Structure 1
Amino acid sequence: MHSAVDVIRAKRDGRQLTDEQIDWVIDAYTRGEVAEEQMAALAMAVLLRGMSSAETARWTAAMTASGRVLEFGGLGRPTVDKHSTGGVGDKITLVLTPLVAACGAAVPQLSGRGLGHTGGTLDKLESIPGWCAELSAERLHAQLRDVGAVVCAATADIAPADRKLYALRDVTGTVESVPLIAGSIMSKKLAEGADALVLDVKCGSGAFMRTLEQARELARVLVDTGTDRGVRTTALISDMSVPLGRTAGNALEVAEAVQVLRGGGPPDVVELTLALAEEMLDAAGLSDVDPARVLADGAAYEVWCRMIRAQGGDPDAALPAARYVEQVLAAGDGVFHGVDARAVGEAAWRLGAGRARKEDPVAPGAGVVLLAGPGERVARGQPLLELHTDRGETLVPARETLADACSVEAAAPPERPIVLDRVRPADPRRRPR
């Protein structure tokens, strides 16, 4: 007979939890038999004492088993998914999902909404008139079969244990635990039932993991957890010290993603999209397909239009625009080194593009546009940023947030690659079970 107090004490004292203890506590918490304060105590013990790789794998499996696991048989194409740990201006999913589908894979992308300074993929897509995030499992399967690409919200029966624990961690100071992060991410991804998974672990001022060492640690745990559960899993670590592309904000990012799908767009967005596409296609057994060619010939844009229409949206409709637009000017002459990603994310949030609480609405047209890119020479008084908002009173706090965020120097900035590292299963002889 298990008890929550025994499990808490075991982890508090630094002991490894047994498979039976983990299975029991996750199931009992999901059913309401373990109280919120007890799970809060256990989460804090995990934060302070850590978990072994075996514990993390079992914790993830129990979280996955708390709800429904989707099955995607009969599609006639391999399934592969991608997850980003979140960043500023990260509209990669919008381009990547139809691109990889156009290359021959099926991409079931269960996404979320933004909280704080990082934007949510569903918030971006909901700026498209008519587009619907809520799909039943049956509609999701049918769209995967017919279009090859789906971006939608996870249903309530996908990893319900994580739904409860995620909210609890946010208010108990236990968000930073790597095993709990891994369990949260991987339980939802494993429940999607894809054959392969590629992770985009962000690193830098605008990311949850500020240093490369922290990002590598999280990527290693995520990759090994996925591999242990039978999913071909790899990770790229990408730079999030400056925003991705030139926009941060929902409709603004959709417009930029469409530019990329039509053969244009910022080089960094194109570069990271293609790097992740190559990784996904390799994991799906489609490494002979060139995603750059598919992006250039318009096939990915055609899948995008079909994907948006399948979920009730109009890909040709005008996107929402903000009522007020103001510019931030360069304070001096020199070379623009960029703008701090976290400051841009927080400014976009203040302008209305994000939310402080899960139930808050977002303004689809709000956000920040970068008018100059790193390495460009600028002159005093030249516009560097545009602030977009529907509420004029938000402009002053957004400007204050960005007051020291733009860097203009005499010399050019050092070259910094967008992809900083690649993480594969630790043991090359290891095979998914």
Structure 2
Amino acid sequence: MSEPNNNHVKYTIPELIIKKRNGQKLSKEEIECFVQSVVNGHVQESQIGAMLMAMYLKELDVEETTNLTRSMMVSGDMLRWPKDLRGKLVDKHSTGGVGDKISLVLAPALAACGMKVPMISGRGLGHTGGTLDKLEAIPGFIVCIDQTRMQEIIDSVGCCIVGQTKSLVPADKIFYATRDVTGTIDDTSLIAASIISKKAAEQVGALVLDVKCGKGSFNKTETAARKLASKMVDIGNGLGVKTVALITKMDSPIGNAIGNALEVAEAIECLHDNGPDDIMDLVYSLGAQVLHQSCKTLSTQEARHQMIDIISSGAALRKFRDMIIAQGVSKPIADSLCEPGADMFKILPKAQNVTAIICKKEGSVFEIDSLRCAEISGRLGAGRFKSSDSINYAVGLELCVHVGSKVKEGQTWLKIHHDAPLNKELIKNIDSILSVVPPDEVVINGSRIIDVVS
């Protein structure tokens, strides 16, 4: 194996692996050497796996994680923006949830507030839905946009939601593929480096993170979410990106819709200022934090009011319309989709069948299991179990109740949008989603927001 070239010093890859395996701290130069060698193809797959396992077992500290993130960030191309956009470039990232269509509402709302939002998003895998998959349910929407066109859309519209290009943070693609098959996918430092390297490569000035915890998140506990949030905030700020994180609950699905076209329709209802309370609260809160980070003279409360006004005025909806036109949707389709009171499923994919599921007893809704909702939605065809799987944009679940709702026996609590006939096993699993307690028990459905980490 040839040794990698490095402007500072030469190291062999086995030496670096052994050093970390023994619990020693890697220097900035050593981490740079390893990352660049990986991208240049000078490191064997087994060595990448060995180093990631050493990092997993001996845990990177904040300085090492920051250096790893920086090295990944500069491993490929970085987005370049005109100087007059400095202070206006912002973004948001969610660690993944069920029914999470926040980006579809937040990006145009921030653009309507005068921000520039070059949002690079991902596809769904496992139980979490992908923002790109949802948007591709809109006929004609294009997610593969080069940087030149991206800059044109940011200049003219103020926001875009696109996929990651091959040249942006190539180190992350290599590391992620290896983490997926080596049991290192859930390491906090490696997750933080993966997320922040991509956002920092966008060259944004401010970033808000939605770090979820609970049944529908890979962070099952608040403690785990807080650890990840703190690390990402530290790294982001260390790289010069003003970063703040909200820790939010993910035990029950966000909003009422789970599934790609269903979630697009719900997001548009939110832009009409007619969305579920939990979605609107997350949009206002995340938007307020990133506006405050960008303009310190604006308090978070003032920023929240600005978000509320922007959505109620229809300005955010108009930005959404302009964004989808800029990304390939025809003007007549965009106009019809965003028309008040429109039947959006004349445009969006519509399932062949809708089956109602009824409550078996009276009471108060105590829990709606978000993980089970995602698993069943995936089995209907709305998600992927492996990256090569195709998606049925039309299918999914539509909740008719929320935590704290009073329900009666025989009342519809869920609608299943499906193409293929439902089998008995799936229907049996659906019954386990809903937990109902006696009607005299008080169930409080409070805010999803647990804390702000800055």
> Is this contact kept in 2: 1:351–1:398, CA < 8 A?
no
State the partner residue of 2:196: 186
Confirm whether residue 422 of structure 1 aligns to residue 438 of structure 2: no
State the partner residue of 1:162: 172
Confirm whether residue 39 of structure 1 aligns to residue 39 of structure 2: no
Question: 1:415 offset after TM fit, Å?
Answer: 4.2
Alpha-carbon distance in 1 for matches of 2:420, 2:19: 52
> Is this contact kept in 2: 1:83–1:199, CA < 8 A?
yes
Q: Quick check: 376-385 or 362-371, which moved more?
A: 376-385
> Is this contact kept in 1: 2:377–2:395, CA < 8 A?
yes
User: Scaled by the length of structure 1, what TM-score is found?
Assistant: 0.95
Confirm whether residue 293 of structure 1 aligns to residue 309 of structure 2: yes
Confirm whether residue 335 of structure 1 aligns to residue 364 of structure 2: yes
Alpha-carbon distance in 1 for matches of 2:427, 2:119: 35
Specify the SS of the correspondent of 2:212: strand
Question: 1:68 offset after TM fit, Å?
Answer: 0.8
Kindly provide the CA deviation profile for residues 238-266 of structure 1, in whole angstroms up to 9, marking residues without a partner as x.
Answer: 11010000011100000000000001011
State the partner residue of 1:412: 442
Alpha-carbon distance in 2 for matches of 1:141, 1:254: 25
State the percentage of identical aligned residues.
40
State the partner residue of 2:399: 370
Alpha-carbon distance in 2 for matches of 1:235, 1:208: 16
Question: 1:74 offset after TM fit, Å?
Answer: 4.5
Question: 1:168 offset after TM fit, Å?
Answer: 1.3
The 1:403/1:45 distance shift into structure 2, 3 A limit, reads farther
Specify the SS of the correspondent of 2:444: coil
The 1:333/1:283 distance shift into structure 2, 3 A limit, reads same
Question: 1:397 offset after TM fit, Å?
Answer: 4.7
Confirm whether residue 51 of structure 1 aligns to residue 80 of structure 2: no
Question: 1:337 offset after TM fit, Å?
Answer: 2.1
Alpha-carbon distance in 2 for matches of 1:262, 1:28: 50
State the partner residue of 1:2: 11
> Is this contact kept in 2: 1:72–1:194, CA < 8 A?
no
> Is this contact kept in 2: 1:75–1:145, CA < 8 A?
no
Alpha-carbon distance in 2 for matches of 1:40, 1:146: 44
Alpha-carbon distance in 2 for matches of 1:180, 1:87: 19
Question: 1:284 offset after TM fit, Å?
Answer: 1.5
Alpha-carbon distance in 2 for matches of 1:284, 1:101: 13
- Aligned residue pairs: how many? 423
Confirm whether residue 123 of structure 1 aligns to residue 152 of structure 2: no
Runs of 4 or more above 4 Å deviation:
74-77
Question: 1:374 offset after TM fit, Å?
Answer: 1.5
> Is this contact kept in 2: 1:350–1:397, CA < 8 A?
no
Question: 1:175 offset after TM fit, Å?
Answer: 0.6
RMSD (Å), alpha carbons:
1.4
Specify the SS of the correspondent of 2:247: strand
Alpha-carbon distance in 2 for matches of 1:239, 1:134: 32
> Is this contact kept in 1: 2:118–2:159, CA < 8 A?
yes
The 1:397/1:108 distance shift into structure 2, 3 A limit, reads farther
> Is this contact kept in 2: 1:10–1:16, CA < 8 A?
yes
> Is this contact kept in 1: 2:35–2:171, CA < 8 A?
yes
The 1:397/1:363 distance shift into structure 2, 3 A limit, reads farther
Superposition map of 1:57-206 within 5 A: 57-74=66-83, 76=85, 78-206=88-216
Alpha-carbon distance in 2 for matches of 1:84, 1:207: 10
**Structure 2 letter corresponding to 1:89:** G
Alpha-carbon distance in 1 for matches of 2:350, 2:89: 36
The 1:254/1:75 distance shift into structure 2, 3 A limit, reads farther
Q: Quick check: 367-376 or 322-331, which moved more?
A: 322-331
Alpha-carbon distance in 1 for matches of 2:328, 2:424: 37
User: Scaled by the length of structure 2, what TM-score is found?
Assistant: 0.91
Question: 1:347 offset after TM fit, Å?
Answer: 0.9
> Is this contact kept in 1: 2:403–2:444, CA < 8 A?
no
**Structure 2 letter corresponding to 1:115:** L
Superposition map of 1:387-402 within 5 A: 387-392=416-421, 395-402=423-430
> Is this contact kept in 1: 2:403–2:445, CA < 8 A?
no
Confirm whether residue 15 of structure 1 aligns to residue 24 of structure 2: yes
Specify the SS of the correspondent of 1:322: coil
Alpha-carbon distance in 2 for matches of 1:13, 1:414: 49
Q: Quick check: 413-422 or 51-60, which moved more?
A: 413-422
**Structure 2 letter corresponding to 1:238:** T
> Is this contact kept in 2: 1:346–1:401, CA < 8 A?
no
**Structure 1 letter corresponding to 2:178:** L
Superposition map of 1:216-365 within 5 A: 216-285=226-295, 287=298, 289=303, 290-313=306-329, 314-315=333-334, 316-317=336-337, 318-365=347-394
Kindly provide the CA deviation profile for residues 53-75 of structure 1, in whole angstroms up to 9, marking residues without a partner as x.
Answer: 00000000010111111122245
State the partner residue of 2:223: 213
Alpha-carbon distance in 1 for matches of 2:74, 2:171: 9
Question: 1:12 offset after TM fit, Å?
Answer: 1.2
The 1:304/1:207 distance shift into structure 2, 3 A limit, reads same
> Is this contact kept in 1: 2:356–2:414, CA < 8 A?
yes
Alpha-carbon distance in 2 for matches of 1:221, 1:351: 36
> Is this contact kept in 2: 1:182–1:222, CA < 8 A?
yes
| Structure 1 unpaired stretches of 5+ | 425-433
Kindly provide the CA deviation profile for residues 316-374 of structure 1, in whole angstroms up to 9, marking residues without a partner as x.
Answer: 25110111222222121101123111111111111111001112111001111101111
Specify the SS of the correspondent of 2:431: coil
Q: Of 412, 415, 421, which aligns to 1:386?
A: 415
Alpha-carbon distance in 2 for matches of 1:56, 1:371: 44
State the partner residue of 1:430: none
| Structure 2 unpaired stretches of 5+ | 1-9, 338-346
Alpha-carbon distance in 2 for matches of 1:180, 1:390: 39
State the partner residue of 1:427: none
> Is this contact kept in 2: 1:333–1:380, CA < 8 A?
yes
Specify the SS of the correspondent of 2:128: coil
